[in-house]
A and B are shown apart, each in its own frame.
Chain A
């Protein structure tokens, strides 16, 4: 029962998604048609697209990426199949990112990245540098608390 509910939830989500995509297409085409010749300031950008470009404290809100050169390329090429979270939690060298991209292209259907490959890797290496952890990291304590029992 519960599983069916979850399944329905997922289907529901995708339905909403399809409807949304169709809407965006229509709005975009209408928008293009209308504003082709006039240089209007009032282009109807769907609300959710505005939300997607919002940045606060240097963080792109929709993805969690650090706002910096190369972020757009990274979002466009790296978040179609998997989430931005998978990228953000990793720390790799240039060479290791190259190898990871090769692996994704060989086995995971990633398309050729062309010039974007260097842009993306530069962005990742610069904004998500690896830190030396040594053989064991210092024990982190989330919060100290009185043990009552």
Chain B
């Protein structure tokens, strides 16, 4: 490359960047991103994540776990996936942080300080399963666009806070309330202050559940910054994007909330199933509510080899959105026969459940252990990738690990 040209363009681009003019127009110079050495620091240190976590994207930050990292009954921060649509807030002053409840269905909006929330309302702790709607996206064919999550965008931590319903009742809302929509302090990727990266929500029935919290603690400590410090809406069992982070306003709407990522193909799937790759119009897309039944084998890690004399202890978790898991099974013969696992009751509604089994193998060879959960309405996990949808949501195909018996 011509060095003179390179540097000239570099200068133009730099100046434009400083003056706030869109600087990519007509410039073919690689200057639009942060030089490598000055890119965000090591994410594992920055967010206190285990180094075995997979970074899918560093702008915005999106990081997922692996099945065997999710072995804890309560997910610690170091193994919790991070999903961001925008830029994590850079300056948070908890003394000045407020939450405003407003919207068409609220007569007089009220603003609470964090202290108000913590002292005026009773606090509750629930263990809540949060799974990204796009967890498993990487398996869809034709491919769906977005972060290519495999299986690690799920967690179940203890969340402490006040019930959203207690706060909404204190403020008061009219009978025409349909939906709550959150607003938060994160920035749009374009850094346009007028744009919200994401503003989703839930119907009133979900908003008013006992377990729907305005949380300020995760696993007994302040919520980590990447997970919504200092205030997060937590709605277990629904796509984790309903659980808005860095919340500073909740609007009680008299219609389905229409913030960014509520429409189009975002967190929506075809109302009627479609063939893989089929074009679906916006009118034919429906908002995802409860997540489907799913499970993960968290022990052992896939690839284990053991001698024929030994049995294999497996364990993991199963969850079913709004529902409970009623049956857990495993197969070592590619689904020909299924054996029931032990499964615990959830510690509270919307918490994942722990299963275990002790497997003996008939002879040496290559095996796959498949896990299949069935929810309280009789829905089981499919063996294959379920119905295709434009953004690749809701893949709850059974989890598999490979085992060699020697």
Nearest to B92 among chain A residues (CB) is A7
Complex-state Cα separation, A9 to B43, whole angstroms: 11
Say if the beta carbon of B337 comes within 8 Å of chain A. no
Known interface pairs A48-B37, A51-B37, A139-B368. Does A75 touch B30 (Cβ–Cβ under 8 Å)?
yes
- Across the interface, which residues of B come within 8 angstroms of A20, CB to CB? 35, 38
- Across the interface, which residues of A come within 8 angstroms of B306, CB to CB? 146-147
Complex-state Cα separation, A109 to B401, whole angstroms: 42
Complex-state Cα separation, A103 to B264, whole angstroms: 10
Q: Which positions 193-228 of chain B face chain A at CB distance < 8 Å?
A: 195, 222, 224-226
Contact in complex: A45, B7 (CB < 8 Å):
yes
Contact with A along B385-406 (1 / 0, CB 8 A): 1000000000001001110100
B346 → chain A, closest Cβ, in Å? 27
Complex-state Cα separation, A90 to B41, whole angstroms: 24
Provide the main secondary structure of the chain B interface. Answer: loop
Contact in complex: A90, B14 (CB < 8 Å):
no
Contact with B along A80-109 (1 / 0, CB 8 A): 111111100111110010001001000111
Say if the beta carbon of B260 comes within 8 Å of chain A. yes
Complex-state Cα separation, A20 to B14, whole angstroms: 10
A60 → chain B, closest Cβ, in Å? 8
Nearest to B404 among chain A residues (CB) is A144
Contact in complex: B46, A93 (CB < 8 Å):
no
- Across the interface, which residues of B come within 8 angstroms of A43, CB to CB? 3-4, 7
B209 → chain A, closest Cβ, in Å? 28
Known interface pairs A21-B14, A48-B37, A90-B146. Does A141 touch B7 (Cβ–Cβ under 8 Å)?
no
Total interface residues on B, CB under 8 Å, equals: 83
Contact in complex: A130, B303 (CB < 8 Å):
no
| Residue among B33, B91, B147, B400 having the largest count of chain A Cβ atoms under 10 Å | B33
Contact in complex: A91, B143 (CB < 8 Å):
yes
- Across the interface, which residues of B come within 8 angstroms of A52, CB to CB? 30, 35-36
- Across the interface, which residues of B come within 8 angstroms of A14, CB to CB? 90
A32 → chain B, closest Cβ, in Å? 6
A144 → chain B, closest Cβ, in Å? 5
Say if the beta carbon of B189 comes within 8 Å of chain A. yes
Known interface pairs A20-B35, A48-B38. Does A137 touch B139 (Cβ–Cβ under 8 Å)?
yes
Contact in complex: B148, A89 (CB < 8 Å):
yes
Contact in complex: A13, B224 (CB < 8 Å):
no
Complex-state Cα separation, A149 to B195, whole angstroms: 53
Say if the beta carbon of B271 comes within 8 Å of chain A. no
- Across the interface, which residues of B come within 8 angstroms of A81, CB to CB? 59, 189-190
A residues whose Cβ falls under 8 Å from a Cβ of B:
2-4, 6-7, 9-11, 13-14, 16-17, 20-22, 24-25, 28-29, 31-32, 35, 39, 43, 45, 48-49, 51-53, 61-63, 72-73, 75-77, 79-86, 89-93, 96, 100, 103, 107-109, 111, 116, 130, 132-137, 139, 141-147, 149
Which A-B residue pairs are the 6 nearest by beta carbons?
A: A28-B11, A109-B190, A80-B32, A133-B141, A48-B35, A83-B59
Given contacts A49-B10, A136-B385, A139-B401, 11 further A-B contacts (CB under 8 A): A6-B46, A6-B226, A7-B91, A31-B7, A45-B3, A86-B57, A90-B145, A90-B148, A133-B140, A139-B302, A146-B304
